[in-house]
Amino acid sequence: MAFLPLRRVALAEAASREYDRWLGELAEELSDPGCDRNELCRRILTDLFYPQYRDADPRELPAATRVALLQMDPRNVALEPEYYAEVDPVRYARVKPLLWLWEMFDKSPLGENVELGVRFRRILARHIFRRCGRNFKAFHYVKFTFGYNMEVGDDVVVHRHVLLDDRGGIVLGDRVSIADYANIYSHTHSLADPRDVETPATVLGDGVRITYHATVLAGVHIAENAMLGALGVATKDIARHEVALGIPARPKLQKPPPEEWPRHPETVDPLADE
């Protein structure tokens, strides 16, 4: 195989300055213990979607426009996790504005901008997750349940359209990679009555790779440097260095030991923390 590290992408200098300024202001505001996160979310989303109505008198606007503007404020929005019996209302109230801001940012014209999007989501993740390590990268349309039950190590990358259902908790070790359209669950329902729910934590160890359209079910532990193949469904634990394939996923291959891995030169991640 060819050795193909990521390349740097040069953005227009004026755009980079604007991105740095805006992201710096966001990070500074969130670091203030007195920050009103609901108002922060409302203001940013209004500026993104309806800047022309920022100072408008709602009474002078059509009813549908008034309703649309209400969606910019997370206090006017009901999200599915709020209906779950085990939600911690206090903890969720802290992260809900940032989860809504994350989701709506992805639906805005800014969401597909990789440089801006990765940096924006990284700032939010540090205020949502229980723990967020260095160089976290999330691409667009990643969804969480509570968010506050996420524990994420260093150099983790989560690609497009991934569901991270952290009802019972999800732990992602260092260098975990989750490919597009994967689903990671930490809750399961009884066969007899779906109101009977178990919420075991799901753990992906250091260096684990979850590939395209794969699913990890609640409570599964995938050990260090293991891999779940494309479209695979992990119903049981996967041992270290194993490659599990199929539905249900079973060990089919064994990764070579680290001492036999290719000796490539060190490269720089163009999307890493500054």
State the residue range of the domain holding 171: 141-260
CA 200 to CA 83: how far, in whole Å? 19
Largest CA distance in the chain: 70
Q: Based on the domain organization, do 152 and 239 belong to the same domain?
A: yes
Question: In the predicted model, is pLDDT for residue 106 greater than 90?
Answer: yes
Q: What angle do CA 105, 111, 115 make, to 5 degrees?
A: 120
Q: Exposure of 5 by Cβ count < 10 A (0-12 exposed, 13-18 middle, 19+ buried)?
A: exposed
- Per the prediction, the chain carries an average pLDDT of 97
165: CATH: 2.160.10.10
pLDDT single digits (tens) 154-167: 999 999 999 999 99
Question: In the predicted model, is pLDDT for residue 252 greater than 80?
Answer: yes
Section 190-197 average pLDDT: 96
Q: Based on the domain organization, do 94 and 176 belong to the same domain?
A: no
CA 73 to CA 102: how far, in whole Å? 13
Token pair of 168 as six digits? 């019972």
Radius of gyration, CA atoms only, the chain: 20
pTM score, two decimals? 0.96
DSSP state of 250: E
Question: In the predicted model, is pLDDT for residue 273 greater than 90?
Answer: no
Question: In the predicted model, is pLDDT for residue 259 greater than 90?
Answer: no
Section 176-188 average pLDDT: 98
pLDDT single digits (tens) 51-102: 999 999 989 999 999 999 999 999 999 999 999 999 999 999 999 999 999 9
Residue 7 lies in a domain: no
Asked which of 83, 98, 132 is the last residue of a domain, the reply is 132
Question: In the predicted model, is pLDDT for residue 1 greater than 90?
Answer: no
Question: In the predicted model, is pLDDT for residue 139 greater than 90?
Answer: yes
- Domain count for the chain, please give it: 2
Question: In the predicted model, is pLDDT for residue 107 greater than 70?
Answer: yes
Q: Exposure of 205 by Cβ count < 10 A (0-12 exposed, 13-18 middle, 19+ buried)?
A: buried
pLDDT of residue 119: 98
For residue 132, give every residue at least 6 positions away whose Cβ sits within 8 Å of its Cβ, in sequence order, or none.
122, 125, 126, 150, 152
pLDDT single digits (tens) 215-227: 999 999 999 999 9
Token pair of 220 as six digits? 């599964």
Share of the chain above pLDDT 70, in %: 100
Question: In the predicted model, is pLDDT for residue 274 greater than 90?
Answer: no
Q: Based on the domain organization, do 200 and 256 belong to the same domain?
A: yes
